[in-house]
Structure 1
Amino acid sequence: MNTGEPLLTGINIKDALERIGDRELFRKILLKFKENHSNVSDEINVALKNGDTELALRLAHTIKGVAGNISAHDLYKAALELETGLRQGSSREGLLEKFSQCLNIVLHSIGTMEQKEEPKAVVSTEPADISKIKVVLTELSELLEDDYTEAADRLNSLKRLVNDSVIREKLKHLEYFMGQYDTDSALKTLYRIADLLNIALIRRRE
């Protein structure tokens, strides 16, 4: 992360670092925010269409808190306005549109940062091992749809096949999402692992 610049678009890095105090922790918070909240605008919209204002409020409140923590000031303001509007029964279309725009700016910035910083994995395995890894990844992508018990077994097999530190870190993320039964996030992480290893997988979800 280039902290010599005062701003990532939508995020004030300098301000956030003064609050958090640790660059690597800040980076992890940003990446976790992107992983956990990329679809929150749609989630709020669906909640409102289903008449679940309480869920929509809870989601807006969560984003407001995280946005304040990472110094995404425009997103914080938009989340606050959305939360207030929902509580007061105000017209929500304009508020949600503004919220979505601010959120997308922040997510794009984090995605750009991730692409620039994430090193390409150099895997110290023989081609035969890569073939084994591809088999396990393929099986795992299928099992994530309907059998988490078997998927956990495949994940353990994958851990034994991979030594690269970057991939192992991604496997921790995958294990976390599986533990939360968050299939979408687990699959996205799985596909990212495949990309890092230059392994082509059939994408069941995007």
Structure 2
Amino acid sequence: MHSPDHRSQLDAADGPAVNHAGGVARLMGDDALFGRVLARFRNEYRQAAAGILAAHQDGNTQLALRLVHTLKGAAAMIEAVPLRRQADAVERALHEGTGDVHGSLARLQAELERVLCELDTLASTLPARAVARPARSHPDALRTLMTLLDEGNGDAVDIVREAGDALAAELGEDGYRRVADLVEGYDFDGALELLRERVAGG
């Protein structure tokens, strides 16, 4: 039988790096939003595998685990299924402290490069509005954010960034920063729980 790690290699070889149709469907059919999510991934995760490797080589397993978990969540958000599976394989290897961690990390790097290569090629074909957009007004930012988090909608990341002032006014600077950190790390459930506690507490 093939290991999960080996199966992820087979999946990567047989299919696209990113399931674009699945990603658009995850975001309620919003092509422009998916374009922005892809652009954010392309900009922010280019050195992700290198960072995980460096943390592992330094013996900082907790940092390596946090970084790979974040990458796994980001890969899931863009429907980069082979990358998500390879990140999961690395996460399990780091947790267990057994197996070929370096080999798993090398495969993670290769799959991340495949995703980035696909996104680099795609970037030149994306309309400008899919890469960036002007800031919007958010008259009910807190309720909007809670709805998006409850749906698992990636637009929550944009709301946190674009409506920071409105959210900070509602939550206080410390409360906003705690929620923003969770959202930026794709811990939507944790962020929603904090917001519900805040609303329940008045």
Q: CA RMSD in A?
A: 2.4
Structure 1 residue aligned with 2:26: 19
User: Normalising by the residue count of structure 2, what TM-score does the alignment of the two structures yield?
Assistant: 0.54
Specify the SS of the correspondent of 2:79: coil
Deviation at 1:169, TM superposition (A): 6.2
Partners of 2:90 and 2:101 within 8 A in 1: yes
Specify the SS of the correspondent of 1:86: helix
Deviation at 1:9, TM superposition (A): 3.1
- The match for 1:60 among 56, 68, 77 is 68
Structure 2 residue aligned with 1:111: 120
The 2-side partners of 1:41 and 1:53 are apart by 14
The 1-side partners of 2:108 and 2:81 are apart by 12
Q: How does 1:120-159 map to 2 (within 5 A)?
A: none
Aligned residues with identical type, % of pairs:
29
- The match for 1:35 among 43, 49, 58 is 43
Deviation at 1:14, TM superposition (A): 1.1
Specify the SS of the correspondent of 1:117: coil
How big is each residue's C-alpha offset from its partner over 1:84-133, in whole Å with a ceiling of 9 and x where there is no partner? 110000221111011111111111111111123366xxxxxxxxxxxxxx
Structure 2 residue aligned with 1:96: 105
Q: Which amino acid aligns with 1:109?
A: E
The 1-side partners of 2:60 and 2:32 are apart by 37
Greater relative CO, 1 or 2 (CA 8 Å, sep 6+): 2
How big is each residue's C-alpha offset from its partner over 1:63-96, in whole Å with a ceiling of 9 and x where there is no partner? 1111111111100100000001100002211110
Deviation at 1:48, TM superposition (A): 1.1
The 2-side partners of 1:117 and 1:73 are apart by 22
Q: How does 1:41-56 map to 2 (within 5 A)?
A: 41-56=49-64
User: Normalising by the residue count of structure 1, what TM-score does the alignment of the two structures yield?
Assistant: 0.53
Residue segments in structure 1 that go unaligned for 5+ positions in a row: 1-7, 120-164, 171-175, 177-206
Q: Which runs of 4+ in 1 moved over 4 A?
A: none
The 2-side partners of 1:116 and 1:12 are apart by 17
- The match for 2:17 among 6, 10, 19 is 10
Asked which structure has the greater CA Rg, the reply is: 1
Structure 2 residue aligned with 1:149: none
Q: Which amino acid aligns with 1:77?
A: R
